[in-house]
């Protein structure tokens, strides 16, 4: 089993959250904006934090 760096794991989790939310909202049920916006922001936050950690570890 391959070990993921923490930054890669954060990016992966963020992408999964955002993609699942988008697919569910578009094809299955409409997600209420009061629920969609915080979940989408959480996914985007994980992606941004993962990118920042990855850039810091390269320096």
Mean pLDDT per 10-residue segment, the chain (59 residues): 68 93 94 94 93 79
Structural domain boundaries, residue 51: 6-58
Question: Domain tally for the chain?
Answer: 1
pLDDT at 39: 94
In a domain, 43, yes or no: yes
Distance CA 43, CA 16 (A): 8
In this prediction, residue 55 carries a pLDDT of: 78
pLDDT for res 41: 95
Q: Does a structural domain hold residue 1?
A: no
For the chain, the maximum distance between any two Cα atoms, rounded to a whole number of angstroms, is: 44
Question: Which residue carries 């993962």 as its tokens?
Answer: 50
With CA atoms as reference, report the closest residue to 35 among 48, 45, 49, 21: 21
Would residue 38 count as lying in a domain? yes
Q: Is residue 31 part of a domain?
A: yes
8 Å CB contact between 10 and 48: no
pLDDT at residue number 56: 76
pLDDT at 17: 94
Is 21 in contact with 39 (CB distance < 8 Å)? yes
């Amino acid at each position: 089993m391959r070990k993921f760096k923490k930054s890669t794991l954060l990016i992966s989790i963020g992408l999964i959250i955002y993609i699942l939310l988008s697919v569910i909202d578009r094809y299955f049920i409409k997600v209420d904006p009061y629920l969609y916006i915080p979940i989408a922001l959480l996914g985007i936050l994980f992606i941004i934090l993962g990118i920042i950690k990855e850039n810091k570890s390269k320096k």
